Amino acid sequence: MDTDEKIRAFRASISSNLLAGDDFIDWQVVEQHLKSSSSAILHIQCLVDGGGVDRNGLEKLLRDEPSVYPLLLDLIAFNTSGTQVEKWGLPQLISHDQGRTAWVWKRL
């Protein structure tokens, strides 16, 4: 009996409802999120590579590329579900409105 078979036999002997490693992380969802965020990832990486991760750099990034906003929220571990974002008085999305963008980045 090889190692994998021993593990399966052990798991079956103690409980039939133990979770597999893939039960904890839905890798398909992770891959889809990475694909849909690739543009925002590149914009943020350019900011990091250029050394512009400061208030002015973030404001410029949000003003020029408002699509990075949801990813920035994810990166600071901000719960981006609609009710949580609204609870803190932040918008779900931002646009090219400079006044609104400045207001948002000051709160981040």
pLDDT tens digits, one per residue of 38-61: 999 999 999 999 987 888 888 889
Q: Could you tell me the residue range of the domain that residue 96 belongs to?
A: 39-108
Q: If you average pLDDT over every residue of the chain, what do you get?
A: 80
Looking at residue 44, its pLDDT comes to 92
Residue at 19 is within a domain? no
3-state secondary structure (DSSP) of residue 98: helix
Give the integer Cα–Cα distance in Å for 91 and 107.
Answer: 11
Residue at 32 is within a domain? no
Residue at 94 is within a domain? yes
Residue at 91 is within a domain? yes
Looking at residue 22, its pLDDT comes to 65
Residue at 69 is within a domain? yes
Residue at 22 is within a domain? no
Give the integer Cα–Cα distance in Å for 18 and 8.
Answer: 11
Q: Per-residue pLDDT for 95 more than 90?
A: no
Residue at 104 is within a domain? yes
Residue that the structure tokens 């709160």 belong to: 107
φ/ψ of residue 80, rounded to 5: -95, 15
As for how many domains the chain has, the answer is 1
Nearest one of 62, 68, 66 to 42, comparing CA atoms: 68
| Contact criterion met (CB below 8 Å) for 66 and 93 | yes
Residue at 59 is within a domain? yes
